[in-house]
Amino acid sequence: MKVAILGPRGTFSEEAARIFSPDAELQMAGDIPTVFEKLESGDCEYGIVPVENSLEGPVGITLELLLERQARIYGEVVVDIHHALLALPGTGTGDLREVISHPHALAQCKGFLKELGVKTRNFPSTAGAAREVGEKGLAGTGAIAPRGAAELYGLAVLEEDIQDVDANQTRFLVISREDHPPTGRDKTSVVIGLKDRPGALYQCLGVFAKRGINLTRIESRPSRKALGDYLFFIDFEGHREDPHVAEVLEELEGSLSFLRVLGSYPRFGQGGG
Amino acid sequence: MKVAILGPRGTFSEEAARIFSPDAELQMAGDIPTVFEKLESGDCEYGIVPVENSLEGPVGITLELLLERQARIYGEVVVDIHHALLALPGTGTGDLREVISHPHALAQCKGFLKELGVKTRNFPSTAGAAREVGEKGLAGTGAIAPRGAAELYGLAVLEEDIQDVDANQTRFLVISREDHPPTGRDKTSVVIGLKDRPGALYQCLGVFAKRGINLTRIESRPSRKALGDYLFFIDFEGHREDPHVAEVLEELEGSLSFLRVLGSYPRFGQGGG
């Protein structure tokens, strides 16, 4: 099974891919759009993309691509994020003049970095920062990355669990050309656009509420048309083939300006894979 | 009147400040938290901060600071965003090897930049990018910035209106120590947290709907506690001192896990300042 992920090796995306399928053949993509492209071109059967982090919120580019491209959501994986400070072997924290990492990782370790009192520099990925330090032999530069990146890039672990808050999780989506058949413990993701009238969101949510369907997430995003014009990414319990969900989707269709079903898939952590 | 804005000179924040008060004495802050600090220390009576863009969505740091700090919302200003490509006088677009700007500005001019076929580099602000090119005399480097930054930093305007989509507006908030007295054409901004039960958002929106109060914006943000736990930034029509709004706030208070009124203030573009 070929799975496209955001590279390089050693990222949290790799951890998500291993949880989804321990034996998958991973193909590294340089950015999130390339993960979608590897799926569309047939290079890979699945792709893994980050969609939200408990501290940083949604990953905008993933939401945009889900809206624009044809990929469907096949599954989800939630990864606990633990950041480590890595550097060349023999380096002490006092030797560091600079720490590099993905801006989200730097933000999540703000308290630790403030105490350390060094400059920071943005890098496109956490593992890429570790690779930069390892391959270029940058003395005096630390990288914030998953612990596992140390071994990959010949670095030492100076500190572990340096994130400010413990409740740090990233939710990844598994995308594919089709969504997942019903399992009985499913979720469905949709994007909706509201007609411009007062109470439109209230009415839409009422369609779910009157059937007792629980929303697990609602995320407003600018429609890119005008200020104050939003699309809503909504996740809720149930599969689009379940009769009560099919009814909801049919009822919504008539009252919305836009409706797209991104896919139905097993909820994470309940025997789904 | 002293107004703190995100500097350097020549940014869209300066344009917003001029719309709010043409004669204000502007104090430049290096980042958005500093705008809040200049207000709290008494250095300035007002601050201007960007809160959302029609293409890029919310400005997360502003929402976080509104939640954490004591500042109240006193007003709003909406600015039409027009990006220009600036470079040293005598430079042609064919001479450019790199274009620098704020990541949002680079993203908003993606199509133009792709055609130009040059590298891009992130900079903390649009006007800061223009200043960098002008003060360091960087031949071969262009800056995407407001047209007005050209004159300030001794640059030439190579192209105007290079943004991909025309509907590009940024909404700024005027913050102060108190919010604005009622004018009859007001808005109120609140942040709410929902109790964890199905239909909680639906019930909350029902409190507004049954009084015919129009929501102008709803923005979900991670609570930073757990994945799937959200706060909602909601703007609606009316002043917190209007009787029907006061009723809504009282009714919400009992059914929410969290409610904070960020302020009531005149709607932009209707005679308000």
Q: Of B84, B79, B81, B117, which Cα lies nearest the Cα of B101?
A: B84
Backbone angles phi, psi at A101, to 5 degrees: -175, 180
Residue B33 has what pLDDT?
93
**What is the reported pLDDT for A164?**
85
DSSP for residue B92 = -
Please state, for a pLDDT cut of 90, what percent of chain A lies above it.
Answer: 70
Q: Is A273's pLDDT higher than 60?
A: no
Catalytic residue among B36, B172, B208, B236: B172
Chain B residues close to A213, C-beta within 8 Å: 198
Rounded to 10 deg, the angle between the A60-68 and A32-40 helix axes is 30
- Token pair recorded at residue B247: 């009723």
Residues from chain B that touch A167, judged by Cβ atoms under 8 A, are: 224-227
Q: State the Cα–Cα distance between residues A130 and A153, nearest whole angstrom.
A: 7
CA dihedral B139, A103, A112, A110 (to 10 degrees): 90
Residue A225 has pLDDT above 80, yes or no: no
Cα separation of B87 and B154, whole Å? 9
Closest-CA residue in chain B for A221?
B57
Q: Which one is predicted more confidently, A246 or A223?
A: A246
Question: Is A222 in contact with B53 (Cβ distance < 8 A)?
Answer: yes
For residue A88, what pLDDT band results from cuts at 50, 70 and 90? very high
Contact B215 A198 (CB under 8 A): yes
* pLDDT for the residue numbered B130: 96
B170 is catalytic: yes
C-alpha of A102 from chain center: 14
Check if B141 is active-site.
no
Mind listing the pLDDT tens digit for each residue in A31-64?
Answer: 899 999 999 999 999 999 999 888 777 888 899 8
Residue B90: closest CA among B151, B145, B155? B155
Task: Domains for chain B: give ranges and CATH numbers.
Answer: 2-81+168-176 (3.40.190.10), 84-159 (3.40.190.10), 186-266 (3.30.70.260)
Q: Is B62 helix (H, G, I), strand (E, B) or coil?
A: helix
CB pairs under 8 A between A and B: 99
Tokens of B192: 């709410």
Q: Is B163 on the interface with A (CB under 8 A)?
A: no
Say yes or no for a CB contact (<8 Å) between B219 and A224: no
CA angle (A97, A100, A103) in 5-degree steps: 135
Query: Would you call A23 an interface residue with chain B, using a CB distance cutoff of 8 Å?
Result: no
The answer on pLDDT for B78 being more than 90 is yes
Q: Least CA distance to B211: which residue of chain A? A: A199
Average pLDDT score over chain B: 91
Q: Residue B50: is the preceding peptide bond cis (ω within 30°)?
A: no
Q: Choose, out of A56, A195, A227, A231, the residue to mutate when testing the contact with B (most B CBs < 10 Å).
A: A227
Task: Encode pLDDT of A67-81 as tens digits.
Answer: 999 999 999 999 999
Per the prediction, chain A carries an average pLDDT of 91
Residue B255 near residue B204, CB atoms below 8 Å: yes
Model confidence at B255, in pLDDT bands (50, 70, 90)? confident
Q: Is A268 on the interface with B (CB under 8 A)?
A: no
Q: Which residues contact B265 (CB under 8 A, 6 or more apart)?
A: B73, B74, B75, B76, B174, B179, B180, B186, B187, B188, B189, B272
Give phi and psi for A29, each to the nearest 5: -110, 150
d(CA B42, CA B39): 5
Confidence of residue B27 (pLDDT cuts 50, 70, 90): very high
Residue B128: what pLDDT? 92
Contact A209 B215 (CB under 8 A): no
| Closest alpha carbon within chain A to B57 | A222
Check B215 against A227: CB less than 8 A apart.
no
Q: Does B67 touch chain A (CB under 8 A)?
A: no
Residue B22 pLDDT > 90, yes or no? yes
Cβ–Cβ < 8 Å for B233, B191: yes
- Residue B258 tokens read as 């969290």
- The verdict on a CB contact (< 8 Å) between A224 and B53 is no
Sorting pLDDT into bands at 50, 70 and 90, what band is B195?
A: confident
| Per-residue model confidence as pLDDT tens digits over B85-113 | 999 999 999 999 999 998 889 988 999 99
A189 touches chain B (CB under 8 A): no
Q: Cα–Cα distance between B113 and B159 in angstroms, integer?
A: 12
**Minimal CA separation from A141 to chain B, in Å:** 21
pLDDT in tens, A111-125: 999 999 999 998 888
As given in the structure block, the two tokens for residue B55 are 């293409």
User: What's the pLDDT score for residue B168?
Assistant: 84
Amino acid letter at A181?
P
Catalytic residue among B120, B126, B170, B188: B170
- At B3, is the secondary structure helix, strand, or coil? strand
Q: What are phi and psi of B206, to 5 degrees?
A: -65, -30
pLDDT of B272 reads 40
A199 Rama sector, left if φ>0, alpha if ψ -120 to 50, beta otherwise: left
Q: Please give the torsion angle defined by the CA atoms of residues B171, B100, B32 and A81, in that order, rounded to the nearest 10 degrees.
A: 100
Residue A271 is predicted with a pLDDT of 45
Interface check for A111 against chain B (CB to CB < 8 A): the answer is no
Q: What is the pLDDT of residue A118?
A: 94
pLDDT at position B142: 97
What amino acid is encoded at B180 in this protein? H
For residue B84, pLDDT over 80 is answered with yes
Is A54's CB within 8 Å of B216's CB? no
Give the Cα-Cα-Cα angle A123, B66, B268 (nearest 5 degrees).
105
Q: How many CA atoms lie within 13 A of A134 on its CB side?
A: 20
- Going by C-beta distance under 8 Å and a sequence separation of 6 or more, which residues neighbour residue B176? B39, B45, B46, B47, B71, B72, B74
B36 secondary structure, DSSP code: H
- Touching check for A244 and chain B: CB below 8 Å? no
Q: Which of A12, A20, A172, A208 is catalytic?
A: A172
Q: Report the b/e string of B101-116 with b at 16+ CB within 10 A.
A: bbebbbbbbeebbeeb
Share of chain B above pLDDT 90, in %: 71
Top-ranked range on mean pLDDT: pick from A8-17, B29-38, B173-182? B173-182
pLDDT confidence bin for A214, thresholds 50/70/90: confident
**For residue B271, pLDDT beyond 70:** no
Find the closest chain A residue to B55 by CA distance. A224
Considering CB atoms only, which of A212, A217, A226 is closest to B198?
A212
The verdict on ipTM greater than 0.90 is no
Three-class secondary structure of residue A118 per DSSP: coil
Of A239-248, B17-26, B70-79, B262-271, least confident by mean pLDDT is: B262-271
Q: Does A169 touch chain B (CB under 8 A)?
A: yes
The reported pLDDT for the residue numbered B224 is 75
CA B58/CA B55 separation, integer angstroms = 9
Catalytic residue among A36, A170, A232, A236: A170
pLDDT value at B73 more than 90: yes
State the average pLDDT over residues A131-159.
95
- Tell me what percent of the residues of chain B surpass a pLDDT of 70: 99
Please list every residue in chain A whose beta carbon sits closer than 8 Å to the beta carbon of residue B56.
60, 222
If you search the block for the tokens 């009192």, which residue do you land on? Answer: A117
- Output the 3-class SS for A55-101: CCEECHHHHHHHHHCCCEEEEEEEEECCCEEEECCCCCHHHCCEEEE
Angle formed at CA A36 by CA A30 and CA A41, multiple of 5 degrees: 105
pLDDT in tens, B160-189: 999 987 778 899 999 999 999 999 999 999
Nearest to A57 among B167, B222, B225 (CB): B222
CB contact under 8 A, B54 and A225: yes
3-state secondary structure of B150: helix
Task: Please tell me if residue B215 touches chain A, with a CB cutoff of 8 Å.
Answer: yes
Contacts of A78 in chain B (CB under 8 A): 227
Q: How far does the CA of residue B198 sit from the closest CA of chain A (Å)?
A: 5
pLDDT of B72 > 70? The answer is: yes
A225, A254, A249, A226: which is closest to A239 by C-alpha? Answer: A249
